[in-house]
Amino acid sequence: MTADHNARQWPAGISGPVKKEGGVAAFRLLEHTADMGIEAQAASCEELFVQAAKGLLAVLAGSAESIGPVRDIRLQVSAGDVEELLVVWLNELLYLIQAKGLWLQNIELVGMQSDHLEAKLLVVPLTGQPQREVKAATYHHLMVSCRQGLWRARVYLDL
């Protein structure tokens, strides 16, 4: 079975799909030689970006939890188009986690256009180290599309 064939399947229950606006939001992880891929789907572009972020968290620490005082922070990112925006978004989240030592408890996109987004994040101090080190989200096989009202994305992380 090829990687492309596997990428088209959306097994139920792996990511805990959430029904929203008549669609199913989900993410799943894709194996690659030295990288890990995230494939996400959702009924809206905003929810797609949230699902991709949840996939990033799953790559970093699976279901690990962090404890401590919860903080509310705002994050704004801009890019040339929606695909680049996804990469910039995930890399900013990586920076918060790996450089600032903050773990995301909740993600809410409060404004989004094809080249800009603003998010409200609930974060707590990260205890310990993530399970995996992720260097960056990459442009390798990057894809964001919308067909028949379903948004899909694929992005690979350099491990």
pLDDT for 129 equals 75
Asked if residue 12 belongs to a domain, the reply is: no
Asked if residue 68 belongs to a domain, the reply is: yes
Q: Domain limits at 59?
A: 3-7+17-158
Asked if residue 78 belongs to a domain, the reply is: yes
Number of domains in the chain: 1
List the CATH number of the domain containing 84. Answer: 3.55.10.10
Asked if residue 46 belongs to a domain, the reply is: yes
pLDDT for 49 equals 97
pLDDT for 29 equals 74
- Please count the other Cβ atoms lying within 10 Å of the Cβ belonging to residue 36: 20
pLDDT for 24 equals 73
Asked if residue 59 belongs to a domain, the reply is: yes
Asked if residue 95 belongs to a domain, the reply is: yes
Asked if residue 30 belongs to a domain, the reply is: yes
pLDDT for 133 equals 85
pLDDT for 56 equals 94
Question: What is the DSSP track for 16-53?
Answer: --EEETTEEEEEEEEE-SSEEEEEEEESSHHHHHHHHH
Tokens of 125: 């101090």
Tens digit of pLDDT at every position of the chain (159 positions)? 333 333 333 333 333 444 445 567 777 776 666 788 999 999 999 999 999 999 999 988 765 567 788 999 999 999 999 999 999 999 999 999 988 989 999 999 999 999 999 999 999 988 777 788 899 999 989 999 999 999 999 999 998
Asked if residue 116 belongs to a domain, the reply is: yes
pLDDT for 68 equals 82
